[in-house]
């Protein structure tokens, strides 16, 4: 089984999520794994070893260190040391959203370059661009869709 998981790892580079009338964005596969880790820990409501998480969620164990480091740096999980150690959520599932997790992994969440803080536009058209208003609306809808709390998913299972 470990062999097939490692093989899948090389074939996967991103995960597509659909939103806003069929438009899509590519999330890094590590982001998807991060979401899986958080959902597993929230459902378990306790400590889980990295091997347990990897086996239960189909995550290559080679990814776990990177995922855990990112989630720890974001204040989402903490590591418990010792023979019965592992990982546990640091935030309550009611105070943690998919958007929090995605934001921890993705370099940007903006759908267009003009949506970045510096509002770069190769035409210098940000103040009068008719399409930018659509981007602003789509961006708000996208963030709203991902702002679902982790506890929401626990109630569904």
Q: Determine the average pLDDT of the residues in 145-150.
A: 92
Total domains, the chain: 1
Q: What pTM was estimated for this model as a whole?
A: 0.76
Within a 10 A sphere around the Cβ of 83, how many other Cβ atoms? 4
Contacts of 14 (CB under 8 A, 6+ apart): 26, 27, 28, 29
Question: Which of 35, 46, 36 has its CA nearest to residue 89?
Answer: 46
pLDDT band at 88 (very low <50, low <70, confident <90, very high): very high
Q: Which residue has the higher pLDDT, 70 or 133?
A: 70
Distance between CA atoms of 151 and 157, rounded to whole angstroms? 10
Distance between CA atoms of 105 and 20, rounded to whole angstroms? 22
pLDDT digits (tens, 9 = 90+) for 8-36: 332 333 334 444 444 456 788 999 999 99
Kindly report the CATH number assigned to the domain that includes residue 119. Answer: 1.10.10.10
Write b or e for each residue in 65-77: b if 16 or more Cβ atoms lie within 10 A of its Cβ, otherwise e. eebbebbeebebb
Q: Which domain holds residue 71?
A: 2-156
């Amino acid at each position: 089984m470990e062999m097939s998981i490692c093989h899948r790892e090389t074939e996967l580079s991103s995960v597509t999520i659909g939103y806003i009338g069929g438009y899509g964005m590519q999330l890094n596969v590590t982001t998807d794994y991060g979401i899986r880790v958080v959902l597993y820990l929230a459902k378990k409501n306790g400590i889980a070893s990295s091997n347990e998480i990897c086996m239960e969620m189909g995550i290559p164990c080679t990814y776990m260190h990177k995922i855990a480091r990112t989630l720890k740096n974001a204040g989402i999980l903490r590591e418990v040391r010792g023979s019965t150690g592992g990982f546990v959520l640091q935030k309550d599932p009611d105070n943690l959203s998919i958007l929090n997790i995605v934001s921890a992994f993705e370099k940007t969440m903006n759908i267009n370059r003009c949506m970045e803080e510096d509002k770069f536009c190769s035409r210098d058209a940000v103040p009068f661009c008719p399409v930018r208003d659509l981007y602003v609306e789509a961006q708000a809808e996208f963030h709203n869709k991902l702002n679902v709390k982790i506890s929401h998913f626990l109630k569904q299972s």
